[in-house]
Amino acid sequence: MTSDQLERKNAERERLTAARRAVPLAERGHDAEALAAGVLDVVAEFDVAAGGTVCAYLATASEPGSVALLDTLRRAGYRVLLPVVVGAAPLDWAEYTGDHALRPGPHGLREPIGARLGPSAIGSAALVLVPALAVDRRGTRIGKGGGHYDRSLPLADAPLVGVVREVEFVEDLPVEPHDVRMTAVFTPAGLSRV
């Protein structure tokens, strides 16, 4: 990546982060409800059978997503794994068994209290829901910049679905050689293949 591209990526990350913080609470709530209502359509689109594993994430205050989305998956019979941040290594994973079984983790995230399954657990997933600040029409994803997903997604052998708001599904983002492209984008309006 050239220094111009790196500057563009950093500027884009800052712009997206600021825009996300400015999203009104009512809109965040609407987005969370729409994603929870549509997540079963996403697993159906990728033919994920009940009992299959879905790697997901627990949304922070400004990220699209919710505990309700995770609970929708569990009630429908899917095994849900959530990431556990372990230093600079690829993400570890643990099973989500409900909001009551979460504890505070690094970076202000909450994580499951259950057994750690190791970084390779993402390889057992039939679908991976990936947090992103934005995804472009080619499937390029830009995250928060910690690199945890960059180190983890190559271990997956499943469709990768970036979860963003409609305005975060953009035409073009800068790309680095290590960036793993998304298979699709899931917004409150629905699923789009890329």
- CA–CA dist 140, 121 (Å, integer): 23
For the chain, the domains span 3-193
What is the assigned CATH class of domain 3-193?
alpha beta
27-73 pLDDT tens trace? 999 999 999 999 999 999 999 999 999 999 999 889 999 999 999 99
Task: Note the pTM of the prediction, 2 decimals.
Answer: 0.94
Q: How far is CA 141 from CA 24, 109, 169, in A?
A: 24, 20, 9
**If you ran DSSP here, which 8-state letter would residue 25 be given?**
H
Q: What is the mean pLDDT of the chain?
A: 93
- CA–CA dist 90, 154 (Å, integer): 10
